[in-house]
């Protein structure tokens, strides 16, 4: 576990712990052996599945037109007929085919989603004759309308002056992004109140969403000619490889003759039969591939994840319905061509067995599901994750993310198991309260896996949810000596051992930028050293590259292009990282007509053309070569279709043939069940007795040539601290903008995701070299600094190191493709000496920076004499009084100075909500660009404000840490709620009553009733007490309000201030907890 001494968690009121209720029944013991069960697959079963699959291939593609068709298909049921993305001014339109005089337009609202019932209240309807020039027809002006039930639909009727139109457009006018979805739109001509002219007509919409679906319409079009052409080309390639294709070519010629003779007026059944016959011929050629030279296929049956699909939410044990198994498909083909039995099963012998399907676990672990699997290189054992369940039904609340805290305390975590394939010996490898999943074998027999043992909470949507992040871990073959491999507050997922012995995985990160765009491929040695980005670290699309595996005999990888709020599914791609870690052309798209379920798609289609898929998603690919793959694929427009995925052979020439599908459950992770070459064993270079890593930089200016030579004088090392999670308290929270909106959302979106601990600044030698030590198992990022220890460039990413790791680099943002060779040690100044000691921040290196504790004292000493009160200079109030930010969750407050600095743009920071994957250029952010620093040397401040070096560093280092406010987290389930005087309405009301009596001659009561004027350390010095008190040092009022301290109103106001201050110290809110209570408060029990 990470040390918890560096950051505190403050307890503030949110929710009481969920009651666990009655004790749940224990799970059955794990048996020592599993007895597999076998079943046959018949020719008739397979033929039916294959032909159904081919017919799905020719369905309409999912695009804006096919989704929009759902609102003019004649179906009125209250569900959404179409669904745009969340965007400004979304629209939907229909083409009636010819101009008509309108008699009536009826719009049926979507009724099945309460939060969206009022999205279309401000609907605007326009018409056009040519589809380009539009005339407004109706503005609904915010009035709600219904649909098939409840409130009536929106109905527009036209009289004698009815307009003429061919095109009808509906739009929601909104500058803010909004979803647009309706049930049905009907259009009737004048004089005909029965014929819906819109039904079945072409429609379109402004965008798609993850809820968009393709709607069918019109007669099927069978692409028989395309498959004939593809079959002939495939036959020629196979012939060159020594495969006899003469009989298949003869049959292709016969099918071509039938196609040429087929009349356009022939019934659809004839075209359909010819299409299917042709596909069977080509399938025989596809499955004759010499690459299908194995006789058993290992795979996983599992219901597709149906909980909230997300890169970071696939590891809870309840994400899928219980069911499935580790399975083996054994085709019953001839020796040397086992898959020939699946090529063209006899139609006249439907009961003939063509394959055997074995369930390896066969219920040995009870209800549950397999969650990740890998085959040992020798082909004789399997390691897998298994989520054991108490019944065959998913637990109550499994689809509701707000139930995750309760479910984590009730459901058994996912554990790792190993199964010997020869005798069924079964053993459990991991235990405990955390889920372990998605294992992969390392070449030395160790097992690398994903785990939530890191005890880190997600940064996303945690305000009313409790979800964990995952990192990589490694253990010995027997499950012992579990070690952490990565420290990533955001998450590392889907590790796979590459053919070079490295471990590839998908790394999600968002540090000083937003969450969507950096889900890239990283690699790490099996001992956890050498972690580095391999591909897609700094370009936008696709948002995620996942499930990356080696391609045999190649340095390239096969993977899928996915989104963020999606499963690891999408277009099938080949990754050529040799072109550069940030080169989009390194993506070869095998399925060029598909898009990821979220986000855009860069890359280039494979030269051979790729598949014709017009919809659906690929998952869990396995490469047979650079041209051919095994993969799971679903035709569904919904990524979470629980039984949608089957197993396929796919190649870059456009062939895709079903190998296995179960109508009741999905199939994933196809792996040929046979030995495969062992990757090299990379030696373990860690030393568990050394608690640090040694870092060496050859020339820190390398890659930052925009900076003047010699300007980089220091290198800062800082830690972004992950949000804690524990199973007693659930997830802890840091972020301010907890609902992507709310009070001051525009500027709150600038704040950090995490507290920041500055470990220190490393001196850089004149030759640009540096050597220093970093604590092991600690996420760190670096900043280049000038001679004043102010930022020149920052790293908006982070990395961690293993105990005893030695890590060297040449300069800033080097890549494997472009890095120069590290200079000889004798030529580098830093390498001729011992590692440098870091210069700590003024507040020390052991704790994160707190604005209230570490920065506000500088402002109090030098700034508040001008920048405070009712009329602060320049409108900037730099006083330290506490404000409230969020009425729903106490602890999300800040102080007056921080509010003024951030809202006034007086610091240059990276916006935490900025969707940005770019490399940070020099001088983009930081103290050097911040008005709070540059103002110290202007004419208004140069002579009056003299900061010590300690004070200057406090301001500059805080800004260069991206100006965080809090140094700790929010406990959403505290044993003792915090007191927030800024939210105390009774306190404000009592003070306001006094001010109404005494201050109204000069001030409006609200003007001077400011709880941020309460001085918590010296409540008697609160501004609302000293300003009106005659003779007081802080007296600001021209006349006498309180003649002396015996004034009853003064006494009452002081009593209110003292009581509130004591409560604040006794039950401090998050920011105040960073301060030591004053002596008088400690004597009353504060700080205990």
Summarised one tens digit per residue, pLDDT across range 553-610 is: 999 999 999 999 999 999 999 999 999 999 999 999 999 999 999 999 999 999 999 9
Mean pLDDT of 1029-1055: 86
| Distance of alpha carbon 618 from the chain centroid | 19
Confidence of residue 18 (pLDDT cuts 50, 70, 90): very low
Structure tokens at 720: 């972004």
Give me the pLDDT at residue 742, please.
45
Mean pLDDT of 115-134: 95
Mean pLDDT of 323-333: 97
- What is the third-level CATH fold of 18-38+293-346+355-672? Neuraminidase (2.120.10)
Give me the pLDDT at residue 888, please.
63
Quickly list DSSP for 5-45: TTSEEEE--S-PPPP--SPPPPPPPPPSB---EEEEEEHHH
d(CA 248, CA 284): 8
Query: Helix (H, G, I), strand (E, B), or coil: what is residue 787?
Result: coil
d(CA 956, CA 1021): 30
pLDDT at 800 over 60: yes
Confidence of residue 813 (pLDDT cuts 50, 70, 90): low
pLDDT at 812 over 80: no
Structure tokens at 570: 């999408």
Higher pLDDT, 431 or 115: 431
pLDDT at 14 over 70: no
Give me the pLDDT at residue 1035, please.
78
Mean pLDDT of 96-125: 95
Mean pLDDT of 203-220: 84
Q: Domain locations in the chain?
A: 18-38+293-346+355-672, 64-205, 696-723+738-971, 981-1066
Give me the pLDDT at residue 821, please.
52
Confidence of residue 340 (pLDDT cuts 50, 70, 90): very high
Structure tokens at 140: 């609904």
Q: What is the dihedral of CA 357, 360, 364, 370, to 10 degrees?
A: -90
d(CA 1046, CA 1051): 6
Give me the pLDDT at residue 741, please.
45
Give me the pLDDT at residue 748, please.
54
Which stretch of DSSP H or E encloses residue 666? strand 666-672
**Which of 221, 285, 294, 218 lies closest to 250, judged by CA?**
285
Structure tokens at 704: 């930052």
pLDDT at 3 over 50: no
Report the first-to-last Cα separation within the chain, whole angstroms: 26
pLDDT at 164 over 50: yes
Which stretch of DSSP H or E encloses residue 247? helix 246-261
Q: Which long-range contacts (CB under 8 A, 24 or more apart) does 247-252 make?
A: 248/281, 248/284, 248/285, 251/281, 252/228, 252/278, 252/281, 252/282
Give me the pLDDT at residue 24, please.
75
pLDDT above 90 covers a percentage of the chain that reads: 78
d(CA 755, CA 896): 20
Give me the pLDDT at residue 886, please.
66
pLDDT at 285 over 70: yes
Quickly list DSSP for 870-903: SS-GGG------EE---SSSTT--EEHHHHHHHH
Give me the pLDDT at residue 5, please.
36
- Give the phi and the psi of residue 742 in degrees, each rounded to 5: 85, -170
Mean pLDDT, all residues of the chain: 91
> Residue 663 contacts by C-beta under 8 Å, 6 or more apart in sequence?
49, 643
pLDDT above 70 covers a percentage of the chain that reads: 94
The DSSP bridge partners found for residue 9 are 969
Q: Picking from 8-17, 178-187, 212-221, 898-907, which range would have the lowest pLDDT averaged per residue? A: 8-17
Mean pLDDT of 1022-1040: 83
Give me the pLDDT at residue 265, please.
86
d(CA 273, CA 236): 25
Give me the pLDDT at residue 891, please.
67
pLDDT at 991 over 60: yes
**Which of 500, 416, 503, 456 lies closest to 777, judged by CA?**
456
Contact 306, 323 (CB under 8 A): no
Contact 79, 110 (CB under 8 A): yes
Confidence of residue 462 (pLDDT cuts 50, 70, 90): confident
Give me the pLDDT at residue 825, please.
64
Using the 8-state DSSP alphabet, how is residue 647 labeled?
A: E
Give me the pLDDT at residue 750, please.
56
- Give the phi and the psi of residue 230 in degrees, each rounded to 5: -65, -40
Give me the pLDDT at residue 96, please.
97
844-903 pLDDT per residue, tens? 999 999 999 999 999 999 999 999 999 999 999 999 999 987 666 666 788 999 999 998
Q: Which CATH superfamily is domain 64-205 in?
A: Galactose-binding domain-like (2.60.120.260)
Structure tokens at 149: 């039930």
Give me the pLDDT at residue 809, please.
82
1049-1076 pLDDT per residue, tens? 999 999 999 999 999 999 999 999 999 9
683-727 pLDDT per residue, tens? 999 999 999 999 999 899 888 989 999 999 999 999 999 999 998
Mean pLDDT of 209-216: 84
Which stretch of DSSP H or E encloses residue 225? helix 224-240
């Amino acid at each position: 576990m990470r040390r918890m001494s560096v950051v505190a968690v403050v307890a503030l009121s949110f929710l009481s712990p969920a009651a666990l209720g009655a004790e749940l029944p224990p799970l059955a013991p794990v048996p020592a052996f599993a007895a597999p069960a076998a079943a046959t697959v018949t020719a008739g079963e397979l033929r039916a599945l294959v032909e159904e699959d081919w017919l799905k291939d020719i369905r309409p593609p999912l695009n804006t037109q096919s989704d929009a068709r759902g609102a003019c298909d004649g179906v009125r049921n209250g569900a959404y007929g179409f669904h745009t993305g969340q965007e400004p001014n979304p629209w939907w339109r229909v083409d009636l085919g010819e101009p008509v005089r309108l008699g009536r337009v009826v719009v049926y609202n979507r009724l099945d989603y309460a939060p969206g019932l009022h999205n279309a209240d401000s609907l605007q309807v326009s018409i056009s004759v040519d589809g380009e020039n539009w005339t407004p027809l109706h503005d609904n002006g915010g009035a709600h309308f219904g649909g098939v039930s409840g409130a009536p639909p929106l109905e527009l009727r036209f009289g004698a002056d009815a307009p003429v139109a061919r095109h009808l457009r509906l739009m929601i006018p909104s500058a803010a992004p909004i979803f647009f979805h309706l049930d049905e739109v009907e259009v009737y001509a004048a004089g005909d109140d029965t014929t819906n002219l819109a039904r079945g007509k072409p429609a379109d919409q402004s965008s798609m969403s993850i809820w968009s679906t393709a709607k069918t319409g019109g007669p099927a079009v069978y692409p028989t000619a395309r498959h004939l052409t593809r079959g002939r080309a495939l036959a020629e390639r196979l012939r060159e490889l020594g495969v006899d294709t003469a009989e298949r070519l003869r049959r292709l010629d016969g099918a071509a003759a039938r196609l040429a003779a087929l009349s356009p007026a022939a019934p659809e059944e004839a075209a359909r039969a010819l299409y299917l016959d042709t596909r069977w011929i080509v399938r025989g050629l596809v499955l004759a591939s010499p690459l299908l030279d194995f006789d058993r296929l290992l795979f996983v049956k599992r219901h597709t994840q149906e909980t909230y699909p997300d890169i970071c939410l696939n590891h809870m044990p309840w994400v899928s319905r219980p069911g499935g198994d580790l399975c083996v498909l054994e085709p019953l083909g001839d020796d040397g061509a086992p898959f020939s039995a699946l090529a063209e099963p006899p139609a006249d012998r439907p009961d003939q067995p063509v394959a055997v399907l074995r369930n390896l676990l066969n219920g040995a672990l009870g209800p549950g599901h397999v969650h990740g699997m890998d085959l040992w290189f020798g082909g004789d054992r399997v390691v897998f994750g298994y989520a054991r369940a108490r019944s065959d039904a998913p637990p109550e609340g499994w689809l509701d993310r707000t139930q995750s805290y309760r479910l984590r305390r009730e459901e058994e975590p996912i554990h790792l198991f190993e199964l010997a394939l020869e005798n069924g010996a079964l053993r459990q490898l991991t235990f405990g309260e955390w889920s372990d999943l998605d294992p992969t074998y390392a070449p030395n027999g160790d097992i690398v896996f994903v785990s939530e043992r890191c005890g880190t909470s997600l940064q996303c949507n945690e305000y009313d949810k409790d979800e964990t992040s995952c990192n990589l871990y490694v253990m010995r073959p027997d499950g012992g000596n579990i070690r952490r491999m990565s420290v990533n507050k955001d998450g590392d997922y889907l590790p796979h051992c590459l053919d070079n012995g490295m471990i590839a995985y998908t790394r999600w990160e968002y540090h000083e930028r937003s969450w969507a765009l950096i889900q890239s491929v990283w690699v790490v040695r099996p001992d956890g050293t050498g972690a580095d980005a391999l591909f897609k670290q700094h370009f936008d699309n696709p948002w995620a590259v996942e499930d990356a595996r080696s391609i045999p005999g190649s340095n390239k990888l096969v993977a899928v292009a996915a989104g963020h709020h999606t499963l690891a599914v999408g277009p099938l791609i080949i990754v050529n990282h040799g072109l550069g870690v940030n080169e989009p052309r390194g993506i070869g798209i095998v399925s060029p007509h598909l898009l990821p379920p979220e986000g855009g798609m860069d890359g280039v289609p494979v030269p051979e053309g790729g598949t014709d898929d017009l919809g659906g998603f690929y998952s869990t690919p396995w490469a047979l070569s650079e041209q051919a793959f095994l993969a799971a694929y679903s035709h569904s427009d919904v990524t979470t279709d629980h039984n949608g995925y089957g197993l396929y052979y796919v190649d870059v020439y456009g062939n895709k043939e079903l190998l296995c599908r179960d109508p009741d459950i999905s199939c994933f992770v196809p792996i040929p069940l046979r030995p495969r070459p062992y990757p090299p064993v990379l030696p373990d270079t860690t030393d568990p007795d050394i608690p640090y890593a040694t870092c060496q930089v050859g020339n820190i200016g390398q890659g930052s040539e925009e900076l003047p030579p010699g300007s980089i004088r220091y290198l800062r090392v800082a830690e972004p601290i992950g949000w804690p999670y524990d199973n007693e308290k659930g997830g802890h929270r840091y972020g301010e903008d907890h609902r992507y909106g709310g009070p001051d959302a525009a500027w709150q979106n600038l704040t950090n995701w995490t507290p920041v601990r500055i470990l220190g600044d490393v001196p850089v030698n004149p030759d640009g070299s540096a050597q220093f030590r970093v604590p092991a198992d600690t996420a760190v990022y670096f900043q280049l600094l000038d001679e004043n220890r102010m930022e020149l460039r920052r790293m908006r990413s982070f990395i961690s190191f293993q105990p005893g790791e030695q890590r060297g680099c040449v300069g800033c943002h080097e890549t494997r493709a472009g890095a120069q060779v590290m200079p000889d040690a004798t030529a580098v100044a830093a390498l001729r000496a011992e590692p440098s000691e870091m210069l700590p921040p003024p507040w020390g290196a052991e704790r994160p920076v707190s604005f209230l504790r570490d920065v506000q004292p500088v402002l109090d000493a030098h700034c508040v004499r001008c920048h405070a009160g009712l009329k602060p200079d320049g409108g900037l109030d730099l006083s330290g009084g506490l404000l409230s930010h969020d009425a729903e969750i106490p602890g999300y407050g800040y102080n007056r100075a921080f509010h003024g600095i951030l809202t006034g743009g007086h610091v240059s920071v990276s916006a935490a909500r900025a969707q940005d994957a770019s490399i940070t250029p020099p001088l983009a952010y930081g103290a050097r660009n911040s008005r709070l620093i540059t103002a110290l040397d202007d004419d208004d401040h140069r002579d009056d404000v003299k900061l010590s070096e300690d004070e200057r560093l406090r301001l500059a280092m805080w800004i260069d840490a991206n100006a965080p406010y809090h140094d700790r987290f929010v406990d959403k389930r505290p044993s003792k709620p915090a007191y927030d005087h800024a939210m105390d309405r009774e306190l404000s009301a009592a003070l306001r009553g006094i001010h109404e009596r005494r201050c109204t001659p000069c001030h409006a009561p609200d003007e001077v009733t400011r709880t941020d004027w309460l001085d918590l350390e010296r409540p008697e010095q609160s501004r609302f007490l000293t300003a009106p008190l005659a003779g007081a040092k802080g007296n600001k009022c021209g006349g006498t309000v309180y003649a002396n301290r015996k004034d009853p109103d003064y006494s009452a106001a002081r009593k209110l201030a003292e009581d509130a201050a004591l409560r604040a110290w006794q039950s401090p809110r998050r920011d105040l907890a960073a301060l030591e209570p004053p002596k008088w408060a400690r004597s009353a029990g504060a700080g205990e």
